[in-house]
């Protein structure tokens, strides 16, 4: 097995590893049952009535001076898989899965020279620059093909997305026609993308869409393009359909309460198999307790996207639009957000505000930990010592804070993973650069500046509580001084230099 064969298995629904194992044991292809349909054999080539687009995920922004050009050596740290009935639908889904943006001209505006250089020598930023070339620079297919060598078929699909943008630009939310809005959704536009064009809220677009009776359909990945009835609920959404596929399996027990579990999304630095493990174990426990489990995830590298690990698998975005739609369609009893890590946490507040029943760790607790301002304020209220800090609300306040505490200063954005855009700065120029980067990474949440204590020791404490009582804990000491992220630090357990008095203070803080 390889990464490619694992991806092919998820894309087609054909259980390659299972079939290969049975072949190794001497079974014949025509004797092996296709577990997806339950009534055909493995002796066939999968038929697809949908389009799959795989896009890699890079984390090059975390490395200064790194060569971002793509070549024969793999540089990605993860991948996503978008599924739809049109290329545009699957393509835009997969782009949003990677970075939250579809085929959009976002970020810094590149010059024509920079665009031509990117087209000729591609980097991890190629899709964004291609969008600028088509949407802003009005480059034609021939010019782009000449410089990039991208097949004209793919470029023509990107220009079809441009056509939708042009139709949206001459419309408004109030007078947009059913055909234009439906066509936009069929070409992969999210409600959020459309809202940006109309300068309105995402909820306004959803309400308008529902008023016009434009809803997605849920289709099955069944390996046979609907020729035979499928026994699994391996699903994806599309606006290129009139009705949902029939799900005639174990999940038709209407006496069971349904619980949605959010997976971890793409792998990147700081988020890997550990969150997927949590999601899978949560799903297994809920099934044992008699609940119907519904997994939402889009990472083909994970166990949670194996169709037999849950009663239903939606291979979909972990966006508010997608999760809310699935939750309401399934009439779910509740949703588990806290097992998937950073990406589900980012939409927790919106899901809670929309009325979804959040199970497990509360949204209030998630927000208190993710929001740097709220967390630091909580420490102050509890009289727990911490370095001096301030919310980066205005240049004057920042300057006053710097004059009071002096450099170095730690810049800490909220709702980020593995220290993204978190840096120790020693001068004003670097501070301004870091504030810009932090605002780009987490624009909707506060940035906190903290006085950085040099030559300090750093300790990790992992603890478990039940009904408000501390059950167990582990104290790990960093070999490196404070300033090295715990993911890159060498940790020692048990700690080697922490005194008993210091341990007592830590336990008091935990309690």
Task: Write the pLDDT tens digit of every residue in 477-488.
Answer: 999 998 888 888
In this structure, the answer to whether residues 443 and 330 fall within a common structural domain is no
Residue 56: count other Cβ atoms within 10 Å of its Cβ: 16
260 and 294 Cβ atoms separated by less than 8 Å: yes
Q: Given pLDDT bands bounded at 50, 70 and 90, which one contains residue 228?
A: low
**Continuous segment of H or E residues that includes residue 220:** strand 217-220
Q: Greatest CA separation found in the chain?
A: 77
Q: pLDDT (tens digit, 9 = 90+) per residue, 345-399?
A: 999 999 999 999 999 989 999 999 889 999 999 999 999 999 999 998 888 888 9
Closest by Cα among 301, 267, 289 to 336: 289
307 and 36 Cβ atoms separated by less than 8 Å: yes
DSSP string of 459-496, one letter each residue: EEEEEEEETTEEEEEEEEEESSPTTS-TTTS-EESS-S
In this structure, the answer to whether residues 348 and 393 fall within a common structural domain is no
448 and 389 Cβ atoms separated by less than 8 Å: yes
**Interval 97-120 mean pLDDT:** 94
Q: Given pLDDT bands bounded at 50, 70 and 90, which one contains residue 252?
A: low
Q: How many domains does the chain have?
A: 4
Let me know if residue 335 belongs to a domain.
yes
> What is the sign, positive or negative, of the torsion defined by CA atoms of 34, 37, 40, 43?
negative
Q: Is the pLDDT of residue 251 over 60?
A: no
Let me know if residue 432 belongs to a domain.
yes
Reading the block at residue 201, the tokens are: 């809220």
∠ CA 232-235-240, rounded to 5°: 135
Q: pLDDT (tens digit, 9 = 90+) per residue, 148-179?
A: 999 999 999 999 999 999 999 999 999 999 99
152 and 141 Cβ atoms separated by less than 8 Å: yes
Peptide bond before 182: cis, by omega within 30 degrees of 0?
Answer: no
Let me know if residue 495 belongs to a domain.
yes
Reading the block at residue 404, the tokens are: 């009071």
271 and 417 Cβ atoms separated by less than 8 Å: yes
Q: Is the pLDDT of residue 231 over 60?
A: yes
Let me know if residue 46 belongs to a domain.
no
Least confident stretch, 185-199, 338-352, 409-423:
409-423
The domain that holds 406 is classified in CATH as 3.30.1490.20
In this structure, the answer to whether residues 154 and 93 fall within a common structural domain is yes
d(CA 433, CA 223): 50
pLDDT score recorded for residue 287 = 95
Q: Residue 153: CB partners within 8 Å, gap ≥ 6?
A: none
**Interval 46-58 mean pLDDT:** 93
In this structure, the answer to whether residues 334 and 423 fall within a common structural domain is no
**Interval 171-200 mean pLDDT:** 96
**Interval 502-511 mean pLDDT:** 91
Let me know if residue 49 belongs to a domain.
no
Q: Given pLDDT bands bounded at 50, 70 and 90, which one contains residue 1?
A: confident
Q: Provide the β-strand partners of residue 507.
A: none
- Mean pLDDT computed over every residue of the chain: 91
139 and 155 Cβ atoms separated by less than 8 Å: no
Q: Given pLDDT bands bounded at 50, 70 and 90, which one contains residue 253?
A: low
In this structure, the answer to whether residues 281 and 333 fall within a common structural domain is yes
Closest by Cα among 103, 106, 14, 16 to 55: 103
Looking at 160, 194, 211, the residue that finishes a domain is 211
Q: Is the pLDDT of residue 289 over 70?
A: yes
pLDDT score recorded for residue 174 = 93
d(CA 328, CA 346): 20
Q: Is the pLDDT of residue 186 over 90?
A: yes
Closest by Cα among 234, 236, 233 to 250: 233
Runs of H (alpha helix) within 100-201: 112-120, 126-135, 141-148, 152-169, 178-186, 191-198
In this structure, the answer to whether residues 427 and 326 fall within a common structural domain is no
d(CA 360, CA 112): 50
Burial track 162-182 (b if 16+ CB lie within 10 A, e otherwise): eebbebbeebebeebeeeebb
pLDDT score recorded for residue 254 = 67
pLDDT score recorded for residue 127 = 95
d(CA 90, CA 185): 11
Reading the block at residue 299, the tokens are: 């990472």
pTM over 0.85: yes
Let me know if residue 336 belongs to a domain.
yes
In this structure, the answer to whether residues 165 and 264 fall within a common structural domain is no
The residue ranking higher by pLDDT, 223 or 134, is: 134
Domain limits for position 86: 55-73+82-211
In this structure, the answer to whether residues 61 and 133 fall within a common structural domain is yes
The residue ranking higher by pLDDT, 308 or 179, is: 179
The rounded percent of the chain whose pLDDT value lies above 90 is 67
**Continuous segment of H or E residues that includes residue 336:** strand 334-336
Looking at 401, 424, 451, the residue that finishes a domain is 451
The residue ranking higher by pLDDT, 432 or 3, is: 432
The domain that holds 319 is classified in CATH as 3.40.50.20
pLDDT score recorded for residue 47 = 85
pLDDT score recorded for residue 217 = 94
**Continuous segment of H or E residues that includes residue 351:** helix 348-353
Closest by Cα among 256, 302, 311 to 279: 302
d(CA 26, CA 13): 23
Let me know if residue 376 belongs to a domain.
yes
In this structure, the answer to whether residues 118 and 160 fall within a common structural domain is yes
Reading the block at residue 270, the tokens are: 């700081």
In this structure, the answer to whether residues 173 and 196 fall within a common structural domain is yes
pLDDT score recorded for residue 175 = 93
Let me know if residue 423 belongs to a domain.
yes
Q: Provide the β-strand partners of residue 450.
A: 389, 410
pLDDT score recorded for residue 91 = 98
In this structure, the answer to whether residues 200 and 290 fall within a common structural domain is no
The rounded percent of the chain whose pLDDT value lies above 70 is 97
**Interval 202-230 mean pLDDT:** 88
Crossing angle for the helix pair 202-211 and 191-198, to the nearest 10 degrees: 110
In this structure, the answer to whether residues 204 and 59 fall within a common structural domain is yes
Looking at 368, 398, 423, the residue that finishes a domain is 368
The domain that holds 117 is classified in CATH as 1.10.1030.10
């Amino acid at each position: 097995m390889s990464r490619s064969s694992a991806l092919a298995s998820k894309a087609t629904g054909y259980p390659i590893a299972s079939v290969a194992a049975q072949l190794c044991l001497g079974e014949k292809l025509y004797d092996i049952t296709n577990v997806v349909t339950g009534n055909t054999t493995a002796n066939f080539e999968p038929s697809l009535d949908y389009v799959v687009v795989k896009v890699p995920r890079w984390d090059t922004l975390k490395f200064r001076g790194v060569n971002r050009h793509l070549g024969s050596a793999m540089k990605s740290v993860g991948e996503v898989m978008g599924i739809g009935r049109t290329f545009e639908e699957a393509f835009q889904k997969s782009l949003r899965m990677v970075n939250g943006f579809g085929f959009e001209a976002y970020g810094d505006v590149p010059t024509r020279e920079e665009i031509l250089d990117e087209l000729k020598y591609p980097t991890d930023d190629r899709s964004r620059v291609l969008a600028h070339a088509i949407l802003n620079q009005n480059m034609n297919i021939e010019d782009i093909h000449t410089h990039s060598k991208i097949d004209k078929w793919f470029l023509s699909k990107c220009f079809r997305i441009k056509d939708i943008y042009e139709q949206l630009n001459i419309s408004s939310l109030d007078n947009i026609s059913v055909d234009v809005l439906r066509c936009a959704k069929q070409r992969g536009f999210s409600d959020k993308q459309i809202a940006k064009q109309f300068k309105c809220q995402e909820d306004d677009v959803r309400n308008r869409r529902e008023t016009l009776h434009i809803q997605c359909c849920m289709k099955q990945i069944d390996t046979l393009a609907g020729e035979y009835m499928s026994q699994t609920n391996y699903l994806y959404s599309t606006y290129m359909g009139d009705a949902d596929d029939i799900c005639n399996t174990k999940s038709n027990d209407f006496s069971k309460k349904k619980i949605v579990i959010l997976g971890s999304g793409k792998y990147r630095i700081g988020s890997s198999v550990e969150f997927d493990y949590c999601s899978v174990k949560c799903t297994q426990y809920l099934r044992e307790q008699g609940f119907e489990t519904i997994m939402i995830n889009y990472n083909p590298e994970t166990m949670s996207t194996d169709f037999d690990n849950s009663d239903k698998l939606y291979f979909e975005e972990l966006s508010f639009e997608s999760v809310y739609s699935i939750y309401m369609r399934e009439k779910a009893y509740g949703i588990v957000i806290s097992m998937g890590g950073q990406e589900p946490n980012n939409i927790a507040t919106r899901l809670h505000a929309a009325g979804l029943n959040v199970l497990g760790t509360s949204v209030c607790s998630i927000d208190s930990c993710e929001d740097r301002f709220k967390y630091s304020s909580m420490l102050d209220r509890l009289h727990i010592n911490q370095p001096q800090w301030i919310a980066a609300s205005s240049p004057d306040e920042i300057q006053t804070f710097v004059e009071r505490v002096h450099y170095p200063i730690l810049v800490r954005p909220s709702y980020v993973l593995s220290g993204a855009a978190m840096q120790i700065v020693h001068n004003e120029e670097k501070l301004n650069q870091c504030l810009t980067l932090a605002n780009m990474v987490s624009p909707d949440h506060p940035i906190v500046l903290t006085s950085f204590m040099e030559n300090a020791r750093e300790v990790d404490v992992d603890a478990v509580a039940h009904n408000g009582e501390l059950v167990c804990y582990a104290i790990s000491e960093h070999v490196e001084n404070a300033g090295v992220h715990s993911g890159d630090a060498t940790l020692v357990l048990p700690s080697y230099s922490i005194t008993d008095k210091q341990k007592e203070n830590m336990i008091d803080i935990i309690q």
